[in-house]
Amino acid sequence: MSYSSFLRQQRYIGFDETDVKHLQEIRKILTQDHLNQVIDQFYEVLLSDDKAKSVFKDKQQISRQKQSLRSWFEKTLVGPYGEDYYKSRLNIGLVHVRVGLAQEFMFLGMNVIRRAVSSHLLSLCERDKAKSLVSSFNKVIDLDLSIMVGAYSQLHEDEAVRDFRTLIFKHLPLSILLLDKSLNLLEMQIPDWPIFQKNIKYGAKVLDVFVKNFSESIDLEHVFKKMNANEDMHYDKRIELEISGHKEVYMLTIIRLNHQEAEFLLHLEHLTAMLTAQEKLQEMKSLAQLGTMAATVAHEIRNPIAGIANTLQVIENSMSEDEKYKKIIGKVQKEIFRLGDLVGELLSFSRPVQIRLKESSLNRITESAVHDALRELGGSVKITVSGDDTCLIDVDWLHRGLLNLIQNATQAGASLIDIKIQNKKIYIYDNGGGISEDAQSKIFDAFFTTKIRGTGLGLATVKKAIEAMGGTIALEKSTPEGTVFSITFI
């Protein structure tokens, strides 16, 4: 309730100078012993309720509250009943709110005081006089109650506004902080970003909200001092810093609100993911252009390669077995065939993957891929397979993918490969030399390879095919002791 409402209520109940004089007269009639009896009776009734009693910590607090009630009596009976009186009563109400005293106990307490004071006045004054004094006392008690109860209403309104603001902030994909003039936190929407401290509480200083290197990177304290000195309304800055070994990018905007509810609004956007996505998109565009060019070149040279291979075959067939150049022709043919395979990989990657799904046994396809790999590798590696499940998959593409992973493992020095199948998931463990940390994030990128002779399209094509089946392929972990890949189907 506002002060103007308080004055309006005085007029509404007819609280006037006659009432003021009556209250001052009551103060002269009631001795200190009378007031002490009223106060003791007030606390006897209040403390008889367990809920009200729980508000008080100890006897010392009750003693202090009794002294406060004596001061309240003095102000109530003496006045004056202007703005200072209104503010003191409002403050009493706010204190009751803060300590958790339920609203009904204010009415209960005031009722006890009304009856106790009325009883004393009726015993000390002639009846008509006492009735006039009690009427004036009841008026001031009603005014006090309206102010103090207003504190509870204000609390509920503030909570409703806070809940509404929190609801709005919670659904915004950014961070917003509201600060008062002293740069204390009033409201916040704080995502799980590494620039924020843990367990931030309302009322915290803004410098205590952020980790130290964020605040220091822009000298946040100096920013606010400068804004206050120049009465700047707006500040924004892109912030780049390293946190836990990772580069983080943010956009900070500070707006001066000049509002009674808040002085500053801080708006933060986390740009790291967006910028990373933009870089990735640009990289993908570049790779797509490179892929298109490579596919065009591959298409153009495919026929000449076939012509060269056929010509060499004719030449080789026309040579006698002891012809000294026949071995050389054989080596050239082998390289031509390898070049043909590379061209085939380029063309295969550049085209949409054609998938033919069929309910199949993962174990059967895995055993087939292992058989083909061992036929090529001989006894240089031991491969074990365990478990089984059935999935809707393309048999040929999964076979090619597993064969590729087995070949990569042996090329990395693996002598033991263990393949486990469970819950529509295939795990491929090897004891090879592992994949370097720098390469781990790139192994599925097109044209990325660590081999001297390789297109970098093997895993990229496999990933493309498995994802076309609705599955995923992932590098689970890689250390110098070995690597684990997984292929998962729905």
Where are the chain's structural domains?
A: 3-158, 175-270, 277-350, 358-488
pLDDT value for 208:
92
pLDDT value for 476:
93
pLDDT value for 252:
92
CATH of domain 3-158: 1.10.490.10
Output DSSP code: residue 353. P
Parallel, antiparallel, or unpaired: how do β-strands 382-386 and 416-422 relate?
parallel
Write the CA distances from 434 to 120, 428, 456, 460, 483, integer angstroms: 94, 13, 17, 18, 5
pLDDT value for 368:
94
pLDDT digits (tens, 9 = 90+) for 346-364: 666 666 778 899 999 999 9
> What is the architecture, at CATH level 2, of domain 277-350?
Orthogonal Bundle (1.10)
Amino acid identity of residue 242, one-letter, is: E
CATH of domain 175-270: 3.30.450.20
Angle at 72 between CA 64 and CA 44, to 5 degrees: 55
Give the up-direction half-sphere exposure of residue 406: CA atoms within 13 A in the CB hemisphere: 30
Q: What are phi and psi of 254, to 5 degrees?
A: -120, 130
CA dist., res. 466 & res. 487, Å (int): 8
**Distance between start and end Cα atoms, the chain:** 62
Write the CA distances from 476 to 79, 163, 407, 428, 434, integer angstroms: 78, 43, 18, 10, 12
pLDDT value for 348:
67
pLDDT value for 372:
92
309 Cβ neighbours under 8 A, 6+ residues apart: 333, 336, 337, 340
The residue behind tokens 């069929």 is 358
H or E element that contains 251: strand 246-256
pLDDT value for 261:
82
> What Rg, from alpha-carbon coordinates, does the chain have?
42
Output DSSP code: residue 352. P
> What is the architecture, at CATH level 2, of domain 358-488?
2-Layer Sandwich (3.30)
CB count in 10 Å sphere of residue 439: 15
CA dist., res. 478 & res. 443, Å (int): 12
Output DSSP code: residue 207. G
Whether residue 103 contacts residue 55, with contact meaning beta carbons closer than 8 Å, is answered with no
Write the CA distances from 354 to 272, 337, 394, 395, 427, integer angstroms: 36, 24, 9, 12, 25
pLDDT value for 169:
61
Whether residue 237 contacts residue 220, with contact meaning beta carbons closer than 8 Å, is answered with no
pLDDT value for 294:
65
Tens-level pLDDT at each residue, the chain (490 residues) = 788 888 998 999 999 999 999 999 999 999 999 999 988 888 888 788 787 777 777 788 888 888 888 888 889 998 899 999 888 888 888 777 766 667 777 788 889 899 999 999 999 999 999 999 999 999 999 998 888 877 777 776 767 776 776 676 666 667 888 999 999 999 888 888 889 998 888 899 999 999 988 888 888 888 998 888 888 889 999 999 888 778 889 999 999 998 888 899 999 988 887 887 787 777 667 666 766 776 677 667 777 888 888 888 888 888 888 888 888 888 888 888 877 777 776 666 666 778 899 999 999 999 999 999 998 887 789 999 999 999 999 999 999 999 999 998 998 899 999 999 999 999 999 999 899 888 898 888 877 777 766 667 788 888 888 988 989 999 999 999 999 999 999 7
